A and B are shown apart, each in its own frame.
Chain A
Amino acid sequence: MKWFRKPSSAPLWQDEFPVFTAEERYVSRRQFTKFLTLTSLAMFVGNLWILGRSLLYRAPAYPRQAVAGTDEIAVGGVKIFAYPTANDPCILVRTAADSYVAYSQKCTHLSCAVYYEKETDRLACPCHQGYFSIADGSVLQGPPQRPLPRVALERSGGQLVAVRLEGEGV
């Protein structure tokens, strides 16, 4: 706090809350400008911190995990599974006889579990009426701002295998 006050032997509280009105010391323009400049420095340091984090970021290694058999669910059916950890619920949808898509089940708004709405062919969040496209997970309607992270699937024999999560935030 020394930077923001004039040199004084009195404790800070006496400066700010003096007994007599005449002893009050107001913040000068120069002090206020210094405070604003230091705040600007703090914002710059914040941006540098983000830059450092982004330069040091390493993409996580995702496990390969079998999530379902190709004939396990009917067309229009869904299966809930966890990927990449047990705390990350995902939803697998069979959209056509030979087409499967899987997304994180956590809504990007407030993490409510989304479900597949077969009638409208979209993923819906029941908490705040957020809707996501079944084709690419993009937001169709509602408060979510970001698309659902997509689980990349590969076929291995008669199995659908999750290989990575795409579009996941940090």
Chain B
Amino acid sequence: MKKGGLTAIDGAMALIVLLLIVQIWLLSATLESFLAGHREAAVPGAIVSGILFAACLALYLFVVRIDSEMR
């Protein structure tokens, strides 16, 4: 049970790292296009970034729950 829990936590952490890399790229791309005068990219950028953050938060809560169950 403990090993399975650790695997789940490691998997969630890896997913969060992946989502974070996408989010960092998204922020830099949105900023680049905003500074170039293309303001229409700001709305979809913020929406997608919010979805990615919600996914990270959900994974974090998942990690907290598994961690509590393991202790």
What residues on B are CB-neighbors of A41 within 8 Å? 53
A110 beta carbon closer than 8 Å to chain B: no
Task: Among B10, B34, B36, B60, point to the contact of A146 (Cβ < 8 A).
Answer: B36
CA gap between A41 and B42 in the complex, in Å: 17
Query: Quick one: which of A40-97 are within 8 Å of B by CB?
Result: 40-41, 43-44, 46-48, 50-51, 53-55, 57
CA gap between A33 and B64 in the complex, in Å: 9
What residues on B are CB-neighbors of A37 within 8 Å? 16, 56-57, 59-60
Interface contact B13-A40, CB-CB below 8 Å: no
Query: Quick one: which of B9-41 are within 8 Å of A by CB?
Result: 9-10, 12-13, 16-17, 19-20, 23-24, 26-27, 30-31, 34-37, 39
Task: Among A43, A57, A169, A170, point to the contact of B53 (Cβ < 8 A).
Answer: A43
A2 beta carbon closer than 8 Å to chain B: no
Q: How many of chain A's residues have a CB under 8 angstroms from any CB in B? A: 26
Closest A residue by C-beta to B53: A44
What residues on B are CB-neighbors of A169 within 8 Å? 35-37
What residues on A are CB-neighbors of B52 within 8 Å? 40, 43-44
Interface contact B43-A51, CB-CB below 8 Å: yes
What residues on A are CB-neighbors of B16 within 8 Å? 33, 36-37, 40
- Residues A168 and B37 in contact in the complex (CB < 8 Å), given A30-B63, A40-B16, A43-B20: yes
Given contacts A50-B45, A53-B42, 13 further A-B contacts (CB under 8 A): A29-B9, A30-B63, A30-B64, A33-B16, A43-B24, A44-B23, A44-B52, A46-B31, A50-B34, A51-B46, A168-B37, A169-B36, A170-B39
